[in-house]
Every structure is written in C-alpha cells, then in structure tokens.
Amino acid sequence: MAYDQNNIFAKILRGEIPCVKVFEDDNTLAFMDVMPQAQGHVLIIPKEPAESLLDLSAEGAAAVIATTQRVARAVKKALDAPGIYVMQLNGTPAGQTVFHVHFHVIPRDVSVPLKPHGGGVVDAKVLETVAVRIRGSM
C-alpha cells in the first residue's frame, strides 16, 4: 500500500491538526496519545513518510529509536513509573490503526491495569498537564 499523505499523523506533522507536543527535532516528533492507555502515553514518529517500520530508512529508524529512548527516560522520571512499555505495531493484522510508523511509550505499574488500545479520548488540557512534566524531565 502506498503511503497516505492524509493519515492523521501526516496532518499533525504538517500542523493541520493539533497535538500536545512533548519533543521535536529535525527528524522526529513526540506527542501525547489522545486515547492514552495509561497516564503519560506518548507517541514518537519520524518525519520521514513511511507507513510502517518495514518501510522506514535505516537513518529514520535510528532517529526515531533515539527519540523513543529519550522520551522513555523522561516519562519514567516525570511519572516515577516502575516500568516502561514500548510498543510498535506494523500492519492491520498486528493492530496498527494509523499508517505512519510510530512507537508508543507507556508507563507501567502492575497495580494500574492498562486501558484498552484506542479507548476514550482525553482532553488536550489534561494531556498538557502531563506533557509539561515530561518536557521538564528531558
């Protein structure tokens, strides 16, 4: 399947729809997931247009994993998370729903059950209160 320039993350990258930003550099963008599976759920994407990890260049993969590591460290510190779950889905059968490659960083605590993937939408103002803590830990 060819890369769809109108997928949601392509629109976020072009600034056509808003996101609660956590980090940005020349090659990557990190922002709060609008339907978090746990408080502090962040998505990290390369700016390179690629549908899945399998389509991404080696340089794009290196950039996105470096930002994922940086965000994971900041999320752990900001939320005092005992564990960090890094998730990355490729293709509909694997559960991918947005077809611009992305990594999920999700804080984990065994006492807090993980919410369902693609569950309820959280208001941007609430996400911003978490994002400000994560940005302050980077």
Residue 79 DSSP label: H
Active-site annotation holder among 100, 102, 104, 117: 102
Question: DSSP labels for 78-126?
Answer: HHT-SEEEEE---SGGGT--SSS--EEEEEEBTTBPPPPTT-----HHH
What's the closest the beta carbon of residue 59 comes to ligand 5GP, in angstroms? 22
Closer Cβ to ligand 5GP, 83 or 118, answer by number: 118
Report if residue 34 touches ligand 5GP, rule: CB under 6 A. yes
Closer Cβ to ligand 5GP, 96 or 137, answer by number: 96
Cα atoms in the Cβ-side hemisphere of radius 13 Å centred on 9: 26
Closer Cβ to ligand 5GP, 13 or 89, answer by number: 89
- Give the footprint of ligand 5GP on residues 69-128 (CB under 6 A): 89, 95-98, 117-118
What's the closest the beta carbon of residue 19 comes to ligand 5GP, in angstroms? 5
Among 10, 19, 29, 30, binds ligand 5GP (CB under 6 A): 19
Please answer whether residues 104 and 90 qualify as being in contact, where contact means their C-beta atoms are separated by less than 8 angstroms.
no
User: Is 102 known to be catalytic?
Assistant: yes
Is 14 strand, coil or helix?
Answer: coil
User: How many Å apart are CA 84 and CA 42, to the nearest integer?
Assistant: 11
Structure tokens at 123: 């208001």
- The residues annotated with a catalytic role in the active site are 102
Binding residues vs ligand 5GP (CB under 6 A): 8, 19, 31-35, 43, 89, 95-98, 117-118
